[in-house]
Structures are given as C-alpha cells and as structure tokens.
Amino acid sequence: MAEPARPTRGYSVRTLPGFAIVALFTFVALYAPIAILVVFSFNAGTSLAIWEGFSLRWYVQAAQNEQVLDAGLRSLYLAGFSASIATVAATMAALATTRTRRFPGRTMIYALINQPLMVPEIVTAVALLIVFAAVKVWTGHTSMIYLIAAHTAFCVPFAYLPIRARLETMDNTLEVAARDLYAPPWKVFTRVTLPLMWPGIIAGLMLAFVISMDDVVITEFVKSAGQDTLPTYMLGQLRRVVTPEINAISTVILVVGAILVSLFFALTMRRR
Amino acid sequence: MPRPEDCCLSRAPSCKLIEKPSVMQDTGMQQETGNMDSTETSRPSAGDTAIDVVRVSKIFPGDPEVRALDDVSVAIRRNEFFTLLGPSGCGKTTLLRLIAGFEPPSMGSLRLRDKDISRLPPNRRPINTVFQNYALFPHMSVAQNIAFGLEMLGKPRDEIAATVDEMLKLVQMEALKNRRTSEISGGQQQRVALARALAPHPEVLLLDEPLSALDLKLRKEMQIELKRLQNETGITFIFVTHDQEEALTMSDRVAVMSAGKILQIGAPREIYEAPAERFVANFIGESNFLDAELAGDTVRLKAGGSFRVAVPDGVAAGPVSVLLRPEHASVRIGEPGPEELPVQIENVVYSGDATVAHLRLSTGEAVKARMPNAPGVAPLSSGAKGAAMGIAPGGITVLKD
Ligand SMILES: Nc1ncnc2c1ncn2[C@@H]1O[C@H](COP(=O)(O)OP(=O)(O)OP(=O)(O)O)[C@@H](O)[C@H]1O
Ligand SMILES: [Mg+2]
C-alpha cells in the first residue's frame, strides 16, 4: 500500500536525529518539578519528599496564616494598581508609535519603552534601591508608592507589546470611514478605535498583572519593612522551615496564573 | 436623466428617501457650513453644480515630490453619475480623498454648491464614501454599520431604525440584518458599504472602485444595481474605475485622467466617438492611428482617400493624426473602389460575434478592422493580396496631438 499523501515541506524537523529525546527531556525538566510540587501540596505529612497520604491541611493552614493573607492581598493590590497604570500608559504609547506620522526618534522611543526587557532586572533593582533608599531617608516617606512606581515602570513594555500588535493589524481606513460618517475625532476613538483594540488592552493588562504578581528581584530591593508580597514572603520562608504550605501557596498562584494566561490566549486568538 | 419624481411614480417605496431632508438641514452642520437653506429639497435646475473643483493641485512631499493632481478643474452636476477614469496612479483616489476631506489640497479650492469646503473636516461634509475595501466596522452588525452615520448625526432612535430598515430593503439585505460583517459574502459586504454610505442621505456619494473585488457576473449585477440606486435616491455619484467599459455603460459623464490631469470630460458617447487626444482614444476602446494631412475640413490619409471631418478647435491645417475605430473599418477581397484603400490581409482572428482582420496599408501602417459575423458568410483568408478596406461615413476623427 502506498503511504498516505502528505504536503511536501522543505524538510521535517521531526525526523532530525535526537529530536524526540531532546523534546522529551525538555518537557520533563519543565513540568515534572511542577507536578511534584502540586502533588506534595496535598501531602498529609510535613515532608516535601515522603508521601504520607492526602490532606488539604496545608491549604487550610495557608488560608489561616495572617502573613500569607497579608502578603497575598498586597500582591494583588500592587499588581492591580501597577498593571492598570502601566496599561493606560502603554495604550497611549502604542497609539503614539503607530497612529502618528513617522517622526524623528520614533525608533529611539520604541527602544526606550522596551528598556526593561533588555536591561538585566538585577541592574534595575540595584539602581532603584540606591535612588529610593536616598529618597526614603530624605523624605521619611515609606509607603507603597515606591513599589507601585517600580512595578508600573517594568510592566509597561509587557502591556505595550500586545496592544501595539493589535493596533498594527487594525485597518486604518476604519477610522477614516468613521470620520466620513460624521464622527468627530473623540467619537472615532470611543466607537471604533477603542472597541477594536480592546482585546489587545485586556491582554496587555493581564500580562502586566501576571508579571507584577510574579516579581521577586525588584520588589525585594525596593520594598520597605512590612511590605512583603507573596513571592518575597515565600522567599523569606524558604530560608527557614520549609513545609508543604509553600507548595499550597505556589499551587494557588499557578492556578490563578494559568487561568489568566488562558484568557490572554483566548482573547488574542479570537477575531482573526 | 431620470428625475426623482419619475422614479417616485414608478417605485413607491423609495419615495420616502427623496423626500427626506438632506443631511445638512436638520443637524448642527447647517450653521457651520452656511447657507444651505431648506428650499434645496425642491428640484434642482439643469446644470446645477454639486461639486466644483477649482484649479486643485495635490503635491505629496518627498524625494522626488509627487504631483498626484496637477491643476485639476471640474464641475460635477447635481444628480449626476460622474466617473473618473484613468490608469493606475493617475490620481483618481487622490481626487476622491480631497473631495471627502481626508486630505487637504495643496492648491486650489473645493466647493459644494456655492460654499467653499476646502477647510472642513470630513465629518462636517455631507459627503459619504464607499471604500474600495468596504471598511465595514468588524465589531458591529450589518444594521449597526448602517446606523452609524445616523447616530453620529444625532438622529432620533425611531428615525434611525426606520432608515436602517429602508436601506436594508433598498440593497436587499433585510435577512442578514443582524449578521456580523465578517459573516457575509463579498458582494453582500459591498451592499452594506453602499447602504451605510447612503443612509445619512449625503449630497454626494464617492465610490472608489467599489466593484473591483467582485467576480464578473456579480460585477455586472452590481453595475445595474448602482445605477438603479443612483436614480432612486437622486444623489450625485462620483465613481472611480479603471475599467473603461464600466465607465461607458454607467456614467452620465466621464472624466479621463492621466498623470494627475483631466484630459477630457464628456458624455460616454462623446469620449468614445470624439476623443480629443491620442491618450483618451487609446485608453477607451481599440484604436487605429493614421497619419494624414488636413486642409480645410478635409483630411487626406497618407495611405490614400479623402474624408470630410469635423475639425476640433486648435488644430491647424497640415500634418495631423487621425483615429479610426476598428469597427468603423471593413475589408473585402477585390479591387479597391473610389472610397476604398488597397490593403494586404496579414492575419484573421475569429472571436465568435466578430472577426478581426489585421491589415497593412500601402504606407506600411498597421490597421485592425472588426466586422460582425453574419451567418453563412465565407471567412476571409489570411495573406490575400488584393483586398480593399472601406471606412464607414464619419469614421475618421481628427486628434489634437
Ligand atoms: N500619501 C501619499 N504619499 C505620496 N504619494 C502618494 C500618496 N498617495 C498617493 N500618492 C501618489 O500619487 C499618485 C496618484 O495616486 P492615486 O492613489 O490617486 O492613484 P489612482 O489613480 O487612485 O490609482 P489606482 O487606480 O492604482 O488606485 C501615485 O503616483 C501615488 O504613488
Ligand atoms: Mg485608487
């Protein structure tokens, strides 16, 4: 019997020697530790390595731990604030870099907006530490404002990229058509531009939110006393006694993150 | 040209459309754009100008700069189906964009009736556009798309609903009212784009090659449809195409453009039968150009034969170029008579309804003759030496260049 007809490609990466092994290894390295982490969050004993039966005790303990709740709420509040401000800024930046005539320095601005993607995070963190430490001493002011400012700044490029991508695939004549149909400029924006770029904005917001929630390095350097977020709290705990409570918290973060990322994909894939 | 009243007698449902006050009268636009008083709903007199393009140039800066329009003047009449025809890049879209207000003219002015509109933004001009790619709003339904312009004009809800229904009926799209615009076919999108642009009842409708994306059959249907809509609504249509047949069959008048200039404006028959320039003759239909000598009102072809002609202004006696349409030439085997020219038949092409003979005159000039096929007539044979070409009376047109 002849082989079933297949479309001809230039080459097939799947037939390269070792492809299957490398792929398998990569997936195992990526997901096996996470799987183990999730499994042991349900361990009845205190060990991270010896299974002693199923229990939800660590979830209960985490939910009753004041410090966890406090850090968790702070993370949400910080991510919510920073991601929102960053998304507004990124939306304006995206409009300015796609909707205007090409102006001198536009590429430069593009590079500047994306700076946090290119500068190593530890460098930014140290720089912020030095500046904010001086400001804190000078003003005596130690509120969350420093964390919000820092998070907003490094979230902007993450919000910017999906919004810009959305704007670039949008048909410019739609706005011209709205103008032609008696819409003044602000109506063009609210009735046509904004609804069409909405999926990009939501995607940017969620991406920025996840990035802020996840941040350790900059937060660790910028936070004042009593301003632990969930990740920095967990980092602190790891230095002491480690119980599956950490696994339980991680699993919750994992689930929330997975939901947000799925929504992100659902939104960017739709309406193509 | 059919008047609004005529169509009212024959087509009751569309009457409402004509009685409807025009865009400018019941909106804030009236104060802004000035003296367009409400007596305008009365019948326009013949020759009444809708759009007056006065010595307009458009220069796009760059290196080198592009002169997309070069000192263009044209007066487009009310209720007219006016077509801009020309090859790619000649400035048709640019002229439409200027009229719509998407670009300002570099020089010159645009007038809507007697009001200068050169400085008005597009949302303040009672002019709508059917875009080449339709530009339907993808996040709105068919009905919402059609309602958009009316909403922006601040019309009351019930009036919007009524007009949308009327428009849907006009373009025969009632059944698809609530569909998304991505869920309808190209021809249907075209109708929605048309309905959306017509709904606010603009004074002028601009159409930029709206049929070019459609297949031939649908295209023919839409040509008839467009003509019908123009008659029924009494709106001035400015239509862009580079399809000469489309221009000839649909238009009241045609402007032939080339390289940013309008070369000739006239009724389709005028443009076809009395093209002023070689470019126009060449662009519209098939042409033979022959060398001749003009003396008084008679031309003598180099290849022989004298013909009485109408001499256009500005053409002096002496050597001229004349146009002979292939369908005005014929050929037969035999000795040439007094009004005929001796020719050699080089090639004969059968094309169903007609036969095209490629001929060579005694001067070496090549000529095509197109003759309708009649049943039972023996075909011409190629290579025959002794043949004679006849020219239909009035078949010779003197060109300016
Ligand atoms: N924004 C612009 N910047 C620079 N040059 C332009 C611009 N728009 C149009 N042009 C130039 O102006 C000339 C006329 O363009 P236009 O789009 O009016 O042609 P057209 O007659 O509509 O052609 P087509 O039949 O291909 O649509 C072209 O040479 C084009 O390259
Ligand atoms: Mg064009």
pLDDT, tens only, A205-214: 998 999 999 8
Residue A183 with chain B: CB contacts under 8 Å: 123, 148, 152
Measured between alpha carbons, how far is B385 from B371 in angstroms, rounded to an integer? 19
Q: What pLDDT was estimated at residue A108?
A: 83
Q: What does the block give as tokens for A34? A: 């996470």
Give the gap in angstroms from C-alpha A54 to the nearest C-alpha of chain B: 49
pLDDT at B12: 36
Q: Are residues A105 and A21 in the same domain?
A: no
How many whole angstroms separate alpha carbon B79 and alpha carbon B232? 10
Nearest to A181 among B133, B138, B149 (CB): B149
Chain B residues in contact with A171 by the CB 8 A cut-off are 133, 135
Rounded Cα gap, residues B225 and B216, in angstroms? 14
Rounded (10°) angle between helices A245-269 and A194-214: 160
The confidence score (pLDDT) of residue A241 equals 78
Examine the domain organization and report whether A100 and A172 are in the same domain.
yes
CB-nearest to A180 from B23, B129, B139 is B129
Residue whose C-alpha is closest to residue A93's, from A210, A197, A12: A197
Supply the pLDDT for residue B383: 62
pLDDT of residue B225: 85
Could you say which of B124, B128, B135 has the minimum Cβ distance to residue A174? B135
pLDDT, average across residues A249-253:
91
Q: And the tokens for B374?
A: 């009649």
Q: What is the pLDDT of residues A57-76, one digit of tens each?
A: 999 988 898 999 999 999 99
Q: Which fold has domain B286-398?
A: OB fold (Dihydrolipoamide Acetyltransferase, E2P) (2.40.50)
Any idea where the domains of chain B sit in the sequence? 6-270, 286-398
Domain contains A10: no
Query: Does residue A7 carry a pLDDT above 70?
Result: no
- Å from CA of B131 to ligand 2 middle: 10
Pocket lining: B89 vs ligand 1, CB cutoff 6 Å: yes
For ligand 1, the distance from its centroid to the CA atom of residue B281, given in whole angstroms, is: 23
Answer yes or no: do A37 and A93 share one domain.
no
Q: Which pLDDT score is estimated for B38? A: 36
Within a domain: A8? no
pLDDT at A9: 64
Considering the domain architecture, whether residues A110 and A166 belong to the same structural domain is answered as yes
Does residue A127 sit in the same domain as residue A185? yes
* CB B123 within 8 Å of CB B152: yes
| 3-state secondary structure at position B55 | strand
The whole-number pLDDT of residue B33 equals 36
Across the beta sheet with B261-266, the strand order is: B127-130, B204-208, B236-241, B81-85, B253-258, B261-266
Query: Would the CA dihedral through B117, B118, B123, B127 be positive or negative?
Result: positive
Q: Is residue A11 part of a domain?
A: no
Report pLDDT for B324.
92
pLDDT of residue A143: 86
Stretch among A162-176, A249-263, B347-361, B372-386 having the lowest mean pLDDT: B372-386
d(CA A164, CA A197): 9
CB pair distance less than 8 Å for B129 and A196: no
C-alpha to C-alpha distance for B297 and B345, rounded to whole angstroms: 30
Q: Is residue A210 part of a domain?
A: yes
The domain that contains A109 carries what CATH number? 1.10.3720.10
Question: What is the average pLDDT across A107-123?
Answer: 84
Q: B136, B189 in Cβ contact below 8 A?
A: yes
Say if residue A100 is in the same domain as residue A38. no
Note down the domain range covering A47. Answer: 17-55
Q: Is B242 in the pocket of ligand 1 (CB under 6 A)?
A: yes
Shared-domain flag, residues A32 and A151: no
Tell me: do A51 and A108 sit in the same domain: no
- Which pTM does this prediction carry? 0.78
Tell whether ligand 1 has an atom less than 6 A from the beta carbon of residue B69: no
* Residues A43 and A163 grouped into a single domain: no
Task: Mark whether A246 and A140 lie in a shared domain.
Answer: yes
User: Which of A127-136, A219-228, B24-33, B82-91 is predicted with the least confidence, judged by mean pLDDT?
Assistant: B24-33
Percent of chain A with pLDDT over 70: 94
Query: For B6-270, which CATH superfamily applies?
Result: P-loop containing nucleotide triphosphate hydrolases (3.40.50.300)
Give me the pLDDT at residue B222, please: 84
């939306």: which residue's tokens?
A: A91
Check B137 against A178: CB less than 8 A apart.
yes
Residue A9 lies in a domain: no
Q: Which residues of chain B have pLDDT under 50?
A: 1-46
pLDDT at B144: 95
Q: Supply the ipTM of this predicted assembly.
A: 0.76
Instruction: Give CA separation, B182 vs B133, B164, B178, B253, in Å.
Output: 13, 19, 12, 35
pLDDT of residue B5: 38
Of A3-7, A84-88, B37-41, B274-278, the range with the lowest mean pLDDT is B37-41
The confidence score (pLDDT) of residue B297 equals: 86
Q: Is the pLDDT of residue A256 over 90?
A: no
- Which atom of ligand 1 is closest in space to residue B58's alpha carbon? 12
Give the per-residue pLDDT at B384: 63
Predicted pLDDT at B39: 36
CB contact under 8 A, B148 and A179: no
- Report the nearest-CA residue for atom 28 of ligand 1: B89
For residue B84, give the ligand 1 atom closest to its CA. 21
B350 Cβ inside 6 Å of ligand 1? no
Nearest ligand for residue B85 CA? 1
Q: How far is the CA of B91 from the centre of ligand 2 (A)?
A: 7
Domain count, chain A: 2
Residue A31 counted as domain residue: yes
Q: Residue B358 forms beta bridges with which residues?
A: B347, B368
Tokens 């256009």 appear where?
B312
Per-residue tokens: B369: 């003759």
**Smallest CA separation from ligand 1 atom 31, residue:** B89
Are A176 and B139 a contacting pair at CB < 8 A? no
